[in-house]
Amino acid sequence: MPCRPFHPGVPARQGSAPVLPITWTSVRLFIHVTAATVWVGGQLTLAGLVPGLRQLSPDAPREVAQRFNRIAWPAFGVLVATGIWNVIAVSPVWDSDYGRTLSVKIVVVAIAGTAAFLHARSHTPARLAIFGALSGSAALTALFFGVQLG
């Protein structure tokens, strides 16, 4: 059954709205968003689990975090790789609102990655808290700027 063409302002029948084509752009963005889901969502989930993990065992948060890192760091690598792919594909004008927003996002991603690296190597509660909070905040901020870029 053929789909009727999309006409702005004309409501589509249920089930007949246009579907976006599968392109390298949609694949690239899907991979990038999936990796961001693991990186950012995992940090938020782990932060919510830490109090309960401490009740199970004082070592449980560290053990769970080490296992999470086996998933999170490859996801971060995929984010960086697909981020570079995005920049190459978009060829932004750096002296524009888009380019400046992208520049801020890149800096925030670097802060998130550095803070997560320092958090993973911290041994004092204060450093764990500071770098964990900085990493999570920066990851959420990068996510926000990513949404702004479309």
pLDDT digit string (tens) for 76-105?
Answer: 999 999 999 999 999 999 999 999 999 999
**139 contacts 79 by C-beta, under 8 angstroms:** no
Q: Which residues of the chain have pLDDT under 50?
A: 1
- Residue 46: phi and psi, rounded to 5, are -60, -40
The model's pLDDT over 102-115, given as tens digits with 9 standing for 90+, comes to 999 999 999 999 99
pLDDT score recorded for residue 12: 57
Q: What angle do CA 51, 132, 101 make, to 5 degrees?
A: 135
pTM: 0.84
Tokens of 149: 């870029």
Residue owning tokens 């996510």:
143
Contact between 128 and 98 (Cβ < 8 Å): no
Q: What pLDDT, on a 0 to 100 scale, did the predictor assign at position 77? A: 98
In terms of Cα–Cα distance, which of 47, 38, 70 is closest to 137? 47
Q: What was the pLDDT predicted at 1?
A: 45
pLDDT score, position 7: 53
CA 88 – CA 91 distance, rounded (Å): 5
